[in-house]
Amino acid sequence: MCGIAGVISFKNDMRGELVRCGLMQKAMLRRGPDQRGIFLSSEAALVHTRLAVIDIEGGRQPMTLSMGERKFTIVYNGELYNTEEIRKQLGENVKFETRSDTEVVLLSYMKWGEKCVNYLNGIFAFAIYDESEHKVFLARDRIGVKPLFYYEAKDRLIFASELNALLEYPEIPHEIDSNGAAELLLLAPGRTAGCGVIKGVKEVKPGCCGYYSEDGLKLYEYWRLRAYELNETFEETSEHIRELLLDSIRRQLVSDVPVCTFLSGGLDSSLISSVASAELKKQGKILHTFSVDYQDNDKYFVKSHFQPNSDPEYIRCMAEYLGSEHHWTIIDTPELVNALDDAVYARGLPGMADVDSSMLIFCREIKKYGTVALSGECADELFGGYPWYRDKDIRMIDGFPWAQSTAYRKKFLCDEYLSVIDPEDFVYGAYRRTADYADKLPTDSDLERRMREMTQLNFDWFMQNLLERKDRMSMYSGLEVRVPFCDYRIAEYMYNVKWEYKDYNGREKGLLREAMKDWLPEKVLERKKSPYPKTHNPAFLEAVTERLRDIISQPTPLTELVKRKELERLLTHEDHVQWYGQLMNLPQTIAFFIQLDTWLKTYKIKLT
């Protein structure tokens, strides 16, 4: 993976942008520590930092290729999983100079133009400058695994992989308005698709692409989840999804550097690890697996509806079953609290508190072994793994099932913004637009219509937040994390599998369990879903309480956005409202405000 950025203008000479581009490049070095490059022309300044995975010498960027008199230059962040198929489709007359997928993407555009995105199976964000046509093509992968932010000024377009790189450009104001304030306090760590929170900053939405030219930026949707009739038996469906998943995992194991896997002892990561282990054994190699836990978690862990058991015994079971070389990362409270700031720098926004910072620490440890890891994100969203899919009452709630806290959240928003924002309308509007967007069939039952809405809600919100977390926390240490369940073919197919099949045997992800039952030991196969592990040590609550108390004891921009009296009340520990589903409770809410303070100060954010 890599970091990309650029400045495009058809009115100003971009050859004078070297210093500004250098600042943007420096901000992305963690995403691409291996190589760097800058392309300058009269209309385009393109920036790249590279994490080398395939064809380490041949894949340098920016990459320029010619077709007759026409020249095309690309900056690309991502990984293709059907590179060889596209090579064949490009034809025998095409001469390849490298083994890199960067060249394949560029040649695809040169042959098919904007339709090239329909041929690509992978995770990507890229920009291609077409010199003779005086335009730049921007595209983002279907699922939205790789980021692409932009700011359109009156005479130029500035884009970058990360917000912090974009904010290095002097023309972009470090400001948030009432909409940004609402995003931060009423929806975060979730974020409206296409919204960059910073005033004027936007993000290319998943499955979208388009051109920037003298006429401005025009983006359009080239892919979305579509409803269609699927008339397969349960047995046929099981076989179909098994083939898709095995193919996706095998494709994503291709790399010129070592590949490892995350292993939580849950269904999703265990399945990926099992298939990866089998494939590596064919090559005479042993899979390295990685797990995270917390100091004294065994001492303080308490069972709950959302987390019925802890991970270690299932991890040990799975590691023994695979015969993998297993690695543990044990995180203690001081390290976890200290990493809250780094997690803000990595995400470019306040995020999921220790759920982010622990992932950042974990990825940093994995990077000591290798550069590529496979992870189990997105199975819950596609296969119906969350409690709100299966609880008949929760799934019919007219609102985000993981965020029923608007009345609580709005108490923190300062009066200046409350006077121009209706919190309930803001949150409900975001929910309703997504639910209404879900594609449906006239023949769908009421249940199937609602389950399509639930899938779209999770796909556009909860899943995007988790993917953003995984990308930023991993790339902060130059670790590429691939997500096999995010193969768009799996998403398209599962959107049309009836709920009865997904809920097979009355179990969360029942279809997935049945389809892949031959790949796991019984104990892991039957394990009830358990979320990403958090610390249960009371020392974490004590530490973040003390830190937030210290922050608000002195002048801080935080109290210009958030009511001081509500922060003081929060520190009494009387509140026990979930800020963001089961992932963010009281300790994480306090830590979120610490991250918000860090973000406001670090990026010198002004409130307008």
Active site (catalytic) residues: 2
Contacts of 469 (CB under 8 A, 6+ apart): 189, 347, 351, 352, 355, 356, 359
Tell me how far apart the alpha carbons of residues 291 and 428 are, in angstroms, rounded to a whole number: 37
Residue 327 token pair: 């690695």
Residue 497 token pair: 């599998």
Tell me how far apart the alpha carbons of residues 265 and 271 are, in angstroms, rounded to a whole number: 10
Query: Closest Cα to residue 586, out of 600, 599, 602, 575?
Result: 575
- Lateral strand order in the sheet of 259-262: 325-331, 288-294, 259-262, 372-374, 480-482
Q: Buried b vs exposed e over 111-127: b needs ≥16 C-beta within 10 Å?
A: beeeebbebbbbbbbbb
Do the beta carbons of residue 367 and residue 479 sit within 8 Å? yes
Tell me how far apart the alpha carbons of residues 491 and 567 are, in angstroms, rounded to a whole number: 41
CB atoms within 10 A of CB 299: 8
Residue owning tokens 């219509």: 449
Query: Closest Cα to residue 317, out of 91, 513, 523?
Result: 523
DSSP designation for 562: B
Residue owning tokens 């307008």: 608
Residue owning tokens 């099992």: 274
- State the chain's maximal CA–CA distance in angstroms: 71
Q: In whole angstroms, how far apart are CA 278 and each of 129, 253, 283, 519, 569?
A: 42, 11, 9, 10, 53
For 116, the 3-state DSSP assignment is helix
